[in-house]
């Protein structure tokens, strides 16, 4: 039972450290999971043409309204130019 608890704690810690920016092609603000995050809008780790809406630790990909705008995680909005997101 103790071994199971230790493994569970290690897995949770590992997941939480992977939430933001680790090897994210769009920049360090990008997320790969909503686990451990508050509800809200976050930069997508896969592309800049949209964002991730986290609700109850569940990820919902959300596109920007036009292909000419990109997500900016500082303004938490789709903008003409992003200070936080860059395509590889």
The pLDDT of residue 22: 59
Report pLDDT for 30: 92
For 26, what's the count of Cα atoms within 13 Å in the CB-facing half-sphere?
24
Q: Could you tell me which residue, 67 or 4, shows the higher pLDDT?
A: 67
Residue 18 has pLDDT above 60, yes or no: no
Rounded mean pLDDT of 6-26? 51
Tokens 């992003």 sit on residue: 82
Average pLDDT over residues 21-46: 89
Class of domain 2-79: mainly beta
* Residue % of the chain over a pLDDT of 70: 74
* Region 19-30 average pLDDT: 75
Q: What is the CA radius of gyration of the chain?
A: 15
What's the mean pLDDT when you consider all of the chain? 81
């Amino acid at each position: 039972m103790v071994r199971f608890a230790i493994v569970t704690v290690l897995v949770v810690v590992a997941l939480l450290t992977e939430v933001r920016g680790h090897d994210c092609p769009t920049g360090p603000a990008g997320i790969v999971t909503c686990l451990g995050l508050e509800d809200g809008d976050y930069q997508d780790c896969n592309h800049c043409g949209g964002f991730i809406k986290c609700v109850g630790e569940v990820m919902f990909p959300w596109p920007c309204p036009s292909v000419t705008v990109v997500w900016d995680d500082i303004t938490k909005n789709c903008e003409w130019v992003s200070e936080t997101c860059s395509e590889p």
